[in-house]
Amino acid sequence: MKILIKDGIIVTMNAKRQIIQGDILIEDDQISQLGDVEFQQVDKTIDARGKLVIPGLIQSHVHLCQTLFRGMADDLQLLDWLNLRIWPLEAAHDEDSLYYSALLGCGELLRGGTTSVIDMGTVRHTSAIFEAVSRAGIRYLGGKCMMDHGNGNAALLTEDTTTSLQESVDLLERWHGRENGRLNYAFCPRFVPSCSEEMLLQVKQLADEYQVPVHTHASENKDEIELVIRERGRRNIVYLNDLGLLNERLILAHCIQVDKAEQNLLTTAKVNVAHCPSCNLKLASGIAPVPEYLKRGVNVSLGADGAPANNNLSMFIEMRMSALIQKPIWGPTVMPAEEVFEMATLGGARAMGLQGQIGSLEEGKKADIVVVDINKWHTCPVSAAGVYAQLVYQVQTQDVCCTIIDGKIIMEKGEFLTLDQADILQGAESSLQRVRQRAGLV
Ligand code: GUN
Ligand code: FE
């Protein structure tokens, strides 16, 4: 299969950060030529004249299992948000409701130019998420959410340690590397308050053995930190370090309540930070010290988190938000648009451990490509020098006109080739009715 993307403004994100007016030739799952492609017979041509051609956006922290709960947990802080709403709702999922929740999330993500996600699944029925992402065509790193400890409604989800570990390994064996390497497994302990020390130590061993990432939440909220200090006698990041979990295969969502000593630990161990600015504001958690992380060379990427914590899954909103929230604190020159766009592309690729394959548009890399229509009221005028600012501050999800992943066209002009929107919206609505009833929430 050969696809030609013709005559676009290509924002390469290569080492020289070149912006090239030209073509991209896709052969099977790869970019085979970029720039001036000589005439040849292709299966499909996409006219990108006057449009931006960008690397597929990478959201490094989402919860596809929570998409169904959008708008059902507003105006709460983290521990109440989890205990009163999210845990009962997640516990009420059946296989079908989880499948539709994940597909609903994928539809929104793909429509808005997100081509890859790092996802925290839920405790039960995780295969349904893998089935959904397999069908949707999105690039995926994630796994079953692991919980074997905790009070209150956490009990609706907690399992014994062995069951949680065994099921994680079974899912890894079944799904890791599937779909031409598009689906990959990560161990996903929920956060320290949901996990016994024994389980966290086993996760470290297994992740080393299988050489796969670990994804968890860390240091999002002040009460979470206090709880960890009470139960484990140390601050959160210090505790994770003492268990040997900090390394370049660890992706930590949030990292807001992190002191200087802990920042040093994250830096030295080359831990990846997944920054979720909208969620951090909405749950009143705080503002992560992202300019400090970037100055230290910590890899920072972006994510929307789950729909009930946001309530959008738009990378364009997160890019804009990540820049704006820092400026009143640090001054107007922090978080320049090019740096933000790097977090949304190469930063996410590094977090996934896929920087050799995705995150930039270069010959030999995977064809994860998004075309953006900038002939709109809010994107005019266009200047090559202002491309990054345009992408970070102005472009909206509806401006994405084509999403390609692994060399396959997933969405073109708002139409999906992998998903049936009417069927998914209907499946989501009827699933939610069952889940709400079971959870006893209206
Ligand atoms: N910490 C533990 N679980 C969660 C979750 O589902 N969402 C967020 N934002 N933080 C968490
Ligand atoms: Fe989260």
Average pLDDT, the chain: 97
Mean pLDDT of 70-76: 97
> Exposed e or buried b for every residue in 42-51, given b needs 16+ CB within 10 A?
beeebebeeb
Mean pLDDT of 209-229: 98
Evaluate if residue 442 carries a pLDDT over 80.
Answer: no
Among 11-20, 229-238, 313-322, 379-388, name the one with the lowest average pLDDT.
379-388
Question: And the tokens for 107?
Answer: 């539809």
The answer to whether the CB of 125 is under 6 A from ligand 1 is no
- Report the pLDDT value the prediction gives residue 384, as an integer from 0 to 100: 65
Listed residue (401, 302, 393, 391) closest to 346, CA to CA: 302
- 254 C-alpha to ligand 1 centroid (Å): 9
- Report the pLDDT value the prediction gives residue 128, as an integer from 0 to 100: 98
Point out the ligand 1 atom lying closest to the alpha carbon of residue 66: 6
- Report the pLDDT value the prediction gives residue 385, as an integer from 0 to 100: 67
The answer to whether the CB of 63 is under 6 A from ligand 1 is yes
Residue 441 — very low, low, confident or very high, per pLDDT cuts 50/70/90?
confident
Mean pLDDT of 129-138: 98
pLDDT tens track for 292-325: 999 999 999 999 999 999 999 999 999 999 999 9
Which residue intervals of the chain bear CATH 3.20.20.140?
Answer: 57-352
- 28 C-alpha to ligand 1 centroid (Å): 37
Mean pLDDT of 413-431: 97
Evaluate if residue 57 carries a pLDDT over 90.
Answer: yes
Q: Name the residue with tokens 């059946």.
A: 94
Among 19-23, 146-150, 225-229, 383-387, name the one with the lowest average pLDDT.
383-387
The answer to whether the CB of 282 is under 6 A from ligand 1 is no
Which residue intervals of the chain bear CATH 2.30.40.10?
Answer: 2-55+366-416
The answer to whether the CB of 191 is under 6 A from ligand 1 is yes
Fold topology of 2-55+366-416 = Urease, subunit C; domain 1 (2.30.40)
Q: Which ligand is nearest to the CA of 82?
A: 1
Task: Round to whole Å and give the CA distance between 341 and 427.
Answer: 34
The answer to whether the CB of 61 is under 6 A from ligand 1 is no
Task: Round to whole Å and give the CA distance between 106 and 55.
Answer: 18
Residue nearest to atom 10 of ligand 1 (CA): 217
More confident residue, 241 or 442: 241
Domain 57-352: assigned CATH number? 3.20.20.140
| Contact between 117 and 141 (Cβ < 8 Å) | yes
pLDDT tens track for 184-200: 999 999 999 999 999 99
Evaluate if residue 78 carries a pLDDT over 70.
Answer: yes
- Report the pLDDT value the prediction gives residue 419, as an integer from 0 to 100: 97
The answer to whether the CB of 305 is under 6 A from ligand 1 is yes
Q: Which of 78, 151, 216, 279 to mutate to test the pocket of ligand 1 (most atoms within 8 A of CB)?
A: 78
Beta strands in 12-162 (DSSP E): 19-27, 30-35, 44-47, 51-55, 57-62, 114-120, 139-143, 145-146
Residue nearest to atom 11 of ligand 1 (CA): 217
The structure's pTM equals 0.98
Are β-strands 139-143 and 114-120 bridged in parallel, bridged antiparallel, or unpaired? parallel
Q: pLDDT over 70 for what percent of the chain? A: 99
- 391 C-alpha to ligand 1 centroid (Å): 28
Listed residue (32, 41, 166, 109) closest to 310, CA to CA: 109
pLDDT tens track for 371-418: 999 999 999 987 766 999 999 999 999 999 999 999 999 999 999 999
- 373 C-alpha to ligand 1 centroid (Å): 34
- 13 C-alpha to ligand 1 centroid (Å): 31
pLDDT tens track for 265-279: 999 999 999 999 999
Evaluate if residue 112 carries a pLDDT over 70.
Answer: yes
Q: Which of 191, 216, 276 to mutate to test the pocket of ligand 1 (most atoms within 8 A of CB)?
A: 191
Mean pLDDT of 326-343: 98
Residue nearest to atom 1 of ligand 1 (CA): 217
